[in-house]
């Protein structure tokens, strides 16, 4: 009995022992499994952290010192003229970069690069190459020849990146209109800046400025006429030994600028001198006393007031003295003058009496009405604000009547003159295509149709019998008005330093275009010849019309009786 009990006890102990061992084994296996899971979780957490950090760093804007920049140079739309001729376009160019961490001998690299890039800034480049950064720019927008020569040097740590740069096929032909872009292909002047301000800059910032999606921007400019205008003013600059010259061709029916040039100018493909003060766009960004061209507006003001007609007369027998100033005529007739005679003889005395009829307040209101006193509204960013007396007195009204004491831009003068000959409608000038219907929707009538008709007559009469004879073009009925303004030197008007202008319209039976030229400080072409506007500014206009009229769609007509002899004073 005892044996049987002991035998059963032994079996029970063995069973118990087996259960304990199995439990121990299971417990040990569970702890091992937990350790493996925990270890795997730690590694997964580490890798997740690294991956997240990489994603974060990838979303940061790249820094020039941390590695190659991933952002490509911004694309820009082509700019074309009204006929589709390319004025500005993007081209591919190579830019040179270095990886300083791979540069062994910075001195040797600079020495070899200098053989291809002699203008390289040695000290600045040395600092870049010794910076230990991953990426630095050395020289952007290389020529193909420069790229080829640098590649032949075989320098380690030096590479190239393809970028876009702006190219202007016409060089300086339309530089003041087109403007400039910076090294990142962003517009900083002219129509290039205007295009950015209209939304291109936002597209570039968001990465949506894709070249294939950008439609060309069409301008109102006619490249053929633009070439003629620029050629004529550049020739005048040299011919008359002037410090500057310029001209504009404006469509009087739409306000479109067909051509505009100001010299000295610059080459936008190599604009190293674009910011020099003598490279100013004088047509829109310079303000000047426009001399006797302003008499156009004085006479139009008097006629439009209803107090004066073409039959009215003004006493110009003797000078006008007001305060310490005496107003005289340059070539005085010493008698009573009719309104047409005041205009064609360019009488300062007669113009002063015309302004006196209207009064000081009426005078200022009229000049403001025709846009000569406010900053002009157009697409070009480079537009100057006119200047005028803070408080108008009678002496100011008198001097401004013949073009002294108030300054405005030449382009504004042309725009105001367009209103005087197109039926009386003032239109803001535009460098973009615009139909006549679109122009009229935004136009303001500033003088009556009758005043406009009278001014057309006076312009033609002056071109045939007055100071504008040198602007005549056979077959085209050109009317106009000269302007010779003495410039202020050391606080006084100097009678030998002039700013000359000629304001013209054609064909005068139904004017289509206004052409205005300026010559700043001209000298006599030859000893013994004059240096007033009739001798230099008027011939510029004549040459522009003669060479460009066919491109503008104006056909010559011969054998017609002069409009000036057909129109009555009544």
Q: What is the CA radius of gyration of the chain?
A: 38
Q: Which residues are CB-neighbours of 209 under 8 A, at least 6 positions away?
A: 74, 75, 76, 200, 203
Q: Check: CB of residue 157 under 8 Å from CB of residue 102.
A: yes
- Between CA 225 and CA 217 the distance in angstroms is 19
Displacement of CA 129 from its chain's centroid (Å): 38
**Catalytic residue, candidates 220, 284, 292, 542:** 292
How many residues comprise the chain? 570
Beta strands in 323-398 (DSSP E): 325-327, 336-338
Catalytic residue flag (residue 292): yes
**Dihedral over Cα of 461, 466, 469, 470: its sign:** negative
User: At 165, which helix (H) or strand (E)?
Assistant: strand 158-167
- Between CA 526 and CA 557 the distance in angstroms is 34
Tokens of 560: 């017609």
Which residue is it, tokens 């674009």? 274
Least Cα distance to 407 among 383, 434, 385 occurs for 385
Q: Which residues are CB-neighbours of 459 under 8 A, at least 6 positions away?
A: 296, 421, 468, 479, 480, 481, 504, 505, 508
- Between CA 180 and CA 394 the distance in angstroms is 45
Task: Please report, for the chain, how many H helices and E strands are present, in that order.
Answer: 18, 18
Q: What is the DSSP letter of 256?
A: B
- Between CA 116 and CA 282 the distance in angstroms is 38
- Between CA 172 and CA 183 the distance in angstroms is 19
Q: What is the DSSP letter of 215?
A: P
- Between CA 133 and CA 110 the distance in angstroms is 17
Q: How far apart are the first and last CA of the chain?
A: 160
Collapsing DSSP to helix, strand or coil, 113 comes out as: helix
Catalytic residues: 292
């Amino acid at each position: 009995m005892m044996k049987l009990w002991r035998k059963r006890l032994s079996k029970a102990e063995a069973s118990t022992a087996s259960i304990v061992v199995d439990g121990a084994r299971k417990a040990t296996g569970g702890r091992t499994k937990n350790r493996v899971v925990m270890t795997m979780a730690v590694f997964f957490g580490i890798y997740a952290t690294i991956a997240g950090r990489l994603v974060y760093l990838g979303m940061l804007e790249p820094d020039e010192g941390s590695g190659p920049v991933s952002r490509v140079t911004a694309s820009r739309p082509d700019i074309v003229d009204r006929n589709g001729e390319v004025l500005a376009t993007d081209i591919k160019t190579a830019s040179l970069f270095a990886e300083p961490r791979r540069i062994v001998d910075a001195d040797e690299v600079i020495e070899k690069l200098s053989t291809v890039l002699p203008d390289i800034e040695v000290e600045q480049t040395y600092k870049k190459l010794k910076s230990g950064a991953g990426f630095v720019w050395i020289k952007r927008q290389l020529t193909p020849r420069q790229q080829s020569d640098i590649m032949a040097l075989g320098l380690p740590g030096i590479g190239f990146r393809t970028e876009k740069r702006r190219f202007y096929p016409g060089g300086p032909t339309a530089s003041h209109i087109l403007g400039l872009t910076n090294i990142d292909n962003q517009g900083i002047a002219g129509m290039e800046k205007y295009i950015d301000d209209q939304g291109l800059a936002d597209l570039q910032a968001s990465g949506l400025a894709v070249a294939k999606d950008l439609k060309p921007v069409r301008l109102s400019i006619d490249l053929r006429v633009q070439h003629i205008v620029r050629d004529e003013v550049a020739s005048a600059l040299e011919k008359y030994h002037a410090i500057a010259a310029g001209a504009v061709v404006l469509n009087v029916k739409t306000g479109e600028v067909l051509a505009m040039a100001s010299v000295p100018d610059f080459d936008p493909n190599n604009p190293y001198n674009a910011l020099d003060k003598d490279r100013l766009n004088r047509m829109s960004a310079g303000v000047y006393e426009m001399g006797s061209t302003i008499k156009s507006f004085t006479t139009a003001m008097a006629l439009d007031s209803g107090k004066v007609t073409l039959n009215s007369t003004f006493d110009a027998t003797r000078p006008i003295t007001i305060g310490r100033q005496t107003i005289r005529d340059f070539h005085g007739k010493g008698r009573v003058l009719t309104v047409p005679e005041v205009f064609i003889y360019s009488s300062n005395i007669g113009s002063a009496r015309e302004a006196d009829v209207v009064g000081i307040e009426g005078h200022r209101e009229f000049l403001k009405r025709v846009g000569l006193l406010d900053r002009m509204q157009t697409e070009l960013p480079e537009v100057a604000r006119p200047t005028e007396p803070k408080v108008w007195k009678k002496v100011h009204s008198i001097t401004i009547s013949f073009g002294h004491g108030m300054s405005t831009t030449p382009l504004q003068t042309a725009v105001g003159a367009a209103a005087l000959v197109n039926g009386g409608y003032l239109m803001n000038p535009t460098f973009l295509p615009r139909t006549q219907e679109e122009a009229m929707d935004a136009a303001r009538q500033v003088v009556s149709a009758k005043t406009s008709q009278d001014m057309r007559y006076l312009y033609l009469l002056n071109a045939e019998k007055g100071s504008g004879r040198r602007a005549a073009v056979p077959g085209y009925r050109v009317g106009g008005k000269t302007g010779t303004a003495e410039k202020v030197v050391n606080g006084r008007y100097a009678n030998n330093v002039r700013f000359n202008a000629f304001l013209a319209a054609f064909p005068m039976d139904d004017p289509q275009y206004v052409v205005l030229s300026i010559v700043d400080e001209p000298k006599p072409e030859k000893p013994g010849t004059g240096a007033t506007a009739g001798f230099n500014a008027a011939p510029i206009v004549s040459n522009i019309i003669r060479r460009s009229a066919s491109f503008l769609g104006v056909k010559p007509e011969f054998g017609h009786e002069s409009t000036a002899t057909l129109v009555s004073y009544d």
